[in-house]
Structure 1
């Protein structure tokens, strides 16, 4: 084991949800790679091939696999590959969320049954499913990390349906931490401030949210995907070995404002 408690040399993990160089998943993957980890990457759509594959080449020629979390065959193939390559895992990063546009842009009370179920399945229950599949490979313990947002705790204008979904995700983190803790498996949510990504662009008036966050942040800036990535390294490393079940805000301090 390295004397550096933040080192991930010899550690292996999966980072899900890459879309392009602006995605939070890429910020996490880059920081984990720089800390010494070996990675398997996933992306959810064939359309992302041209954006993701060049990024994988920059991350120690990490493997990038197409994996739609709603299709069991793709998830099976992902964990089969992890088992064949390493026969173990040390961490998994869950970085994905989705809601139908009509449901996301409308009131929560108006969202459709089907839209709510779809958003919950991809944005929350997929983390639970991936955790269940990862558990047998986390032979020496490890860390499961998902991405949330402050709208899980307080009402954020235009976040709408994703607020209740992320609240369920954060509750799931706490319950999973309690269940998996005896096996040395730590579970966390990272809650970034607003970051300009392709996924975030689906939120109505997102530019206004960015401007508001920057002006209200005690650090007078927006958080970046690099900030999130460094936090993921901390939580996944020996430095974070005493922590589990937390929601860590990486938002330049916006969450402390009333």
Structure 2
């Protein structure tokens, strides 16, 4: 995929002005090979993958194949990977699912002050509506975390640490493996937002040791409206969408 994409833009000022797209960290175009792979499921193979009859078998096989391919990419078992509508749903599901399942333990969550709004906004709502306490770890002028501050922030009633792998604005790569080890030593589960890391650096959820991980398709030349949540087997989790 050529990183420099030219667009034909039409406006009253210019009948045809050529522009170069350089904002791939925000979103990416659908790769032609990806488009070719998905088009049959909008045309002929449009059955419900949950149907047990002939129309559902092709779509189900395609979903299973996609799950296996994506699971291999991030180093997890396919059974632990769940498709969502995107990174925001994956992040919200991780926060709400774990905190609901561990409600008896406490209502304290630790995160970073520079997380994506898909993490910070629901946590703010949880503080306001559900009485949660949220510790937002500060960063230095280079966007780096102090691991001693993380150690000090973890409490007996802490149920989750949520930290991104790569920051979407600064590009910082967080020491997620070290942060996960610290959290696990304190008995705290870890969610990692890897949406802006996948496709740019190697991402292996099992190597990082995290319990949950969010990813999104539109950052890696795939269609918008598709994401996934890695949920490590036996991780306490209460789904907030049912049916």
State the TM-score bracket (shorter-chain normalisation). 0.3 to 0.5
Between Structure 1 and Structure 2, the one with more strand by share is 2
Question: What TM-score, normalized by structure 2, do the two folds share?
Answer: 0.41
Task: Give 1 or 2: higher helix fraction.
Answer: 1
Q: Which has the larger radius of gyration?
A: 2
Q: TM-score, normalised by structure 1?
A: 0.39
